[in-house]
Structure 1
Amino acid sequence: MLHLAETSAGTGKAEGVVLQPILRSDFPAVGLFLHENLNARISAPRWIEMMLPSWQIDGPNHGFMLRNGEQIVGVQLAFYSVREAQTGAVRFCNIAAFCVLPDYRVHSLRLLRAVLGQPGYCFTDLSPSGNVQPLNLRLGFRKLDTTTALVPNAASLLATGKMRVVTDHDAIAGRLAGADLKVFRDHRSAEAAEHLMLVDGNRYCYVIFRRDRRKNLPLFATLLHVSDPALFRKGRAQVFRHLLVRRGILFTLMEMRLVGDRPRLSRLLPGHRPKMFRSAELGPEAIDYLYSELTCVSW
């Protein structure tokens, strides 16, 4: 899981630890720190690429870090965006990769408070580790309903249907308009976002998914965005077959809050990964997974 709090016992060093915002000039050092201490499968150069979101935003920082002298000892990444809601434009801050060295664990809360201390944002944490969740709840976060179904894509091999699955980016862009087109343009080059479109005559369902690991096996597609759940339900078997045959992905993970129901040949997972948010003006129905670490960071 990407969003981790260090759990090893530490000495609680306090001398000389400074809290600083992460700026573009800090990317090389932060990328190396995350590669060495959070996820070694992601190289330092790839961390650097993923820290810069694919959409245009004038954010105040890229998160916060702790330094002891010249040494980085803790990092909390953040991704910022401005989204349209029924109440108007809403500023979002998605808090992402969190890592603190064992000896400096006592300072972990400083990182989180620095991010949450920025006024005027709706905050999301879409990959909180187990020991971060209680802390988030104390700080005013709420849990989303992430009830998830596991779909074996092979069950759709014999499915028939007249809908088309479109994957060419230019063809997808040619069919989209308005808010859907903006979402595509903003995420077209996002590291972890993959795109396809289910087409039925003049109707379409635009889907964004990411490849995921479970038990360290990279066999899963996780749905992040489904623009037309009703059309998706009609043609989802063709999507599952495409994921298996064209992408080599054995299983699809789909949250009920995104798609409404599940195929007969699927099962609800007994445990599902939590996602959390904190907002004074938005309810859970207004929270999605776009413009976040889930589209930017592949792990």
Structure 2
Amino acid sequence: MVDGPRGVDVAPIRDEDVQAVGEFLHRHLNSRLSGRLWARSALPTWTVDAPNHGFLLRQGDDIVGVYLAFYSERPVADGTGSRKVCNLAAWCVLEEHRAHGVRLVRAMLRQKGYDFVDLSPSGNVVDLNTRLGFEFLDTTSAMVPNVPLPSRRGVRVLTRPTDIERALPEHELAVYRDHRHAGAAWHFVVQVGEESCYVVARRDRRKRMPVFATLLHVSDPAVLARAGHAPYRHLLLRHRTLVTLAEHRVAGRPPRLSRPQRAPRRRMYRSPHQTPASSIDYLYSELTCVPW
């Protein structure tokens, strides 16, 4: 669609645009990810009837701005149906076209019937989102040192895909299969006796140091708590991360050795359906797909 002055057009990102979008994001947003990896990360690993992969700005044949999106259908809080979610992801506009960047936001938000989530807003994006009616999620977090303490008796950490699949109930198994090949997601199951907890985590950076793990999904925080330090030992030894960032709303009560995180990441959402914040999670999003 063409709706702007000076020959700068807004258009949805189609399948045939994804490789060029990946090259643009490699050159102008995060060069640690190759163009091919950006393109692969922009394609969700779950099945969804998505209208696009976000929106782009084009001047002539050149891409001058991109706003990625990830779409999903998620259960409503009372379990009676589903809601459509649009995750606003990587946003990058060339400096000389920065004034057109808000047109990408408007194109995204004009899509009717979606809850919108922005899980990594930064800088001026936070203020813009606030003006557009977004609310903040409670991201109160603990910092857990990943030290190699001995595991408690009766605690196991399962990482083999076949073991994970055998341990999960049907609804968590569906989540695992949707995310098994997602580029940023780590999967393991913590077993405490006869009880299990499915965990999805990812690598995170703070002050450019890629030594942090972030917990994205914890199926049973009570089981995670009873597992003691075994999950964090696993994140140290398997993934070489020194600290785990555990949001209280995701992971529940933090372990004894943790301390509060002073400045946790901001995460925001906007819902026309009055979706409660407790229903917003980090699955089916850029956090599982993009390994920045």
TM-score, normalised via structure 1 length: 0.93
Q: What is the aligned counterpart of 1:130 among 123, 137, 143?
A: 123
- Within the candidate set 84, 92, 103, 1:110 is matched to 103
Q: Does 2:87 align with 1:97? A: no
SS in 2 for 1:246: helix
Amino acid at match of 2:65: G
From 138, 143, 147, give the equivalent of 2:140: 147
- 3-state SS in 2 of match to 1:80: strand
User: 1:160 deviation in Å?
Assistant: 2.7
User: Which one of 175, 184, 205 corresponds to residue 213 of structure 1?
Assistant: 205
Q: Which residue of 1 aligns with 2:38?
A: 47
Structure-1 residue corresponding to 2:185: 193
> 1:201-252 CA deviation, whole Å, 9 max, x = no partner?
3310000000111111111110000000101011041111111123322111
Q: SS at 1:19's partner residue?
A: strand
**Match status 1:75 vs 2:66:** yes
Structure 1 letter corresponding to 2:81 = G
Residue 124 of structure 1, CA deviation: 0.4
Residue number among 58, 65, 68 corresponding to 2:56 in the alignment: 65
Q: Which amino acid aligns with 2:246?
A: M
1:260 is aligned, of 252, 258, 276, to 252
CA deviations 1:258-292 (Å, max 9, x no partner) are 12222222211111110000112211000000000
Q: Which runs of structure 1 show a deviation greater than 3 angstroms over 4 or more consecutive aligned residues?
A: none
Alignment partner, residue 284 of structure 1: 277
Residue equivalent to 2:262? 270
Q: Over residues 44-84 of structure 1, what are the superposed CA-to-partner deviations in whole Å (9 max), with x where a residue is unaligned?
A: 00011101100011200000000010111100000000111
Residue 232 of structure 1 corresponds to which residue in structure 2?
224
Aligned to 2:17: 26
CA-to-partner distance for each residue in 1:18-46, whole Å, 9 max, x for gaps?
A: 00000010012111100000000000000
The residue aligned with 2:156 is: 164
Pick which of 158-167 and 15-24 moved more.
Answer: 158-167
Q: Which amino acid aligns with 2:181?
A: S
Aligned to 2:196: 204
Structure 2: state its 5+ residue gaps. Answer: none
Is 84-93 or 227-236 further displaced after alignment? 84-93
CA contact (8 A) 1:146 1:274 kept: yes
- Relative to structure 2, which stretch is displaced further, 156-165 or 214-223? 156-165
> RMSD in angstroms over aligned alpha carbons?
1.3
Q: What whole-Å deviation, never above 9, does each CA across 1:121-171 have from its counterpart, x for those lacking one?
A: 0110000012101110111110000011111111x5145331110000111
1:121 to 110, 114, 117: 114
Tell whether 2:188 aligns with 1:182: no
Query: Residue 279 of structure 1 aligns to which amino acid in structure 2?
Result: S
Indicate the larger mover: 235-244 or 59-68: 235-244
Aligned to 2:263, the other structure's residue is in SS state: coil
Contact 1:212 1:218 in 2 (8 A): yes
Name the CA distance, whole Å, in 2 between partners of 1:159 and 1:204. Answer: 15
Query: 2-side partners of 1:277 and 1:251: how far apart?
Result: 27
Cα distance in structure 1, aligned partners of 2:228 and 2:74: 28
8 Å CA contact retained: 1:161, 1:238: no
TM-score (norm 2): 0.95
Structure 1 Cα separation of the partners of residues 31 and 67 of structure 2: 17
Q: More displaced, 70-79 or 233-242? A: 233-242
Task: Give 3-state SS (helix, strand or coil) of 1:294's partner.
Answer: helix
Contact 1:14–1:104 (CA<8 Å) still a contact in 2? no
SS of the residue 2:254 aligns to: coil
> Which ranges in structure 1 are unaligned for 5 or more consecutive residues?
1-12
Identical columns (%): 52
